[in-house]
Amino acid sequence: RSKSAGRNCFTIYDEAMSAELEARNTLEGDLRDAIARCQLEVHYQPFFDVTSTERRGFEALVRWRHPARGLIRPDQFIPLAEETGLIVPLGEWVLRRACEDAAAWPSGERVAVNLSPVQFKEAELFDVICAALEDSGLPPERLEIEITESVLLERGVENLAFMERLKSIGVELALDDFGTGYSSLSYLTAFPFDRIKIDKSFIRSLTLRPHSAAIISSIVTLARGLDMSVTAEGVETQEQFDRLKTLGVNFAQGYLLGRPQPIAQIGPEMAAVRARLDAA
C-alpha cells in the first residue's frame, strides 16, 4: 500500500514538474519572440534631490507587454532571461532605448539603467555601452549604471577593472538594493561607486522600527566618508520623506514622488521631443 501511494506521489510530482517545465518553455519562447517583436517597453521613474526637491533624472525599468497576459513586471521574467542568456540581448535593447530616450530630453536630466550580473560576464559589455552612448549621442555623464552587490562577490577583480573603465569615460555607478546582499561594508571602499541606493525594505520600516533609522543614518555617514551620495528607494509617504531628509539622504525615489511611466507620459515636453524625433 505504501509503495503504491509512493508511486502515485511520484507520478503527481512528475506531472507537476513537467507542467512547470512546459510553462517555462512557453515563457522562454514567448520572451524570445518578445525581443524580436518589440513587445518590451522601458518605463521611467523619476528621482529627486531631497534638499532642493529638483528632479534629477529617471531610472529605466523594463516591462513586457505580453499579447495575452498584459503588462508583465521584470521580477517575473528577468530571472528566466538570466538563466537562458536572453538577458544579454534584452539588456542591450533596454540600454540603447534608455540612451536614445534620454538623449532627447531637453532638460539634461540623467538616466539610470540596471545591469544584470550575467551581462557583466560578457567581455563586450564595455563596447556595448560605448556604442549605445555614441549612437544615441547621450553624453556619458548623463548615464548611470545600477548594479547589485552580487557583482562584487563574483569576479571582483575583473569587475573592478570594468567599473574603473566606465568611470574613466564619465559614466556614474550606483550600488542598488544596498543592505539586502551578503557583501561586507569593506566592499564599498574597494569599488568606485558614486551612489548607494538603500533598499526599499529599510525605507518601509523606517517609521515603524527605530533600528531602521539607525541603519540609514550609519549608511549616510559611511557614504559621506567615502565621497558617495545616498538614494532612498521605495519612498511612499511624506513621513518617510521627511525622516530621510533629516537623516541626510541625498536623493529619493518612490511612489510618493512618481511611479514608473511610459515615455509618452513622463512629461508633455519630453513626449513632444520624442514625437518630433519619431516623425523625423
CB 47 within 8 A of CB 253: yes
Cβ at position 251, least distance to ligand C2E in Å: 13
What CA dihedral angle connects 237, 243, 246 and 247, to 10 degrees?
Answer: -110
78 binds, among Mg ion, ligand C2E, none (CB under 5 to 8 A by kind): ligand C2E
CA distance 31 to 39: 9
Residue 16 or 98: the one with the smaller Cβ distance to ligand C2E is: 98
Interaction pattern, residues 1-40, with ligand C2E; x per rule: CB under 6 A: ----------------------------------------
Residue 146 as a binder of Mg ion (CB under 5 A): the answer is yes
Q: How many CB atoms lie within 10 A of CB 83?
A: 12
Regarding 114 and contact with Mg ion (CB under 5 A), the answer is: yes
**Residue 61 in contact with ligand C2E, rule: CB under 6 A:** yes
Q: What is the dihedral of CA 227, 50, 143, 74, to 10 degrees?
A: 110
Type of residue numbered 9:
C
Q: Which DSSP string corresponds to 45-86?
A: EEEEETTT--EEEEEEEEEEEETTTEEE-GGGTHHHHHHHST
Within 10 A of 36 (CB to CB), how many other CB atoms are there? 9
How far is residue 56's CA from residue 215's CA, in Å, rounded to a whole number?
A: 25
* Least distance (Å) between residue 6 CB and ligand C2E: 41
Question: What interhelical angle do 210-225 and 238-247 show, nearest 10?
Answer: 40
CB of 115 or CB of 220, closer to ligand C2E = 115
Binding mask 78-117 for ligand C2E (x = CB under 6 A): x------------x--x-------------------xxx-
Which residue, 253 or 280, has its beta carbon nearer to ligand C2E?
253
Residue 102 interacting entry, from Mg ion, ligand C2E, none, C-beta within 5 to 8 Å by type? none
Give me the residues that bind Mg ion (CB under 5 A), please: 114, 146, 176-177, 233
Which residues of the shown chain bind ligand C2E in the complex (CB under 6 A)? 45, 61-62, 73-75, 78, 91, 94, 114-116, 146, 176-177, 200, 233-236, 254-255, 260
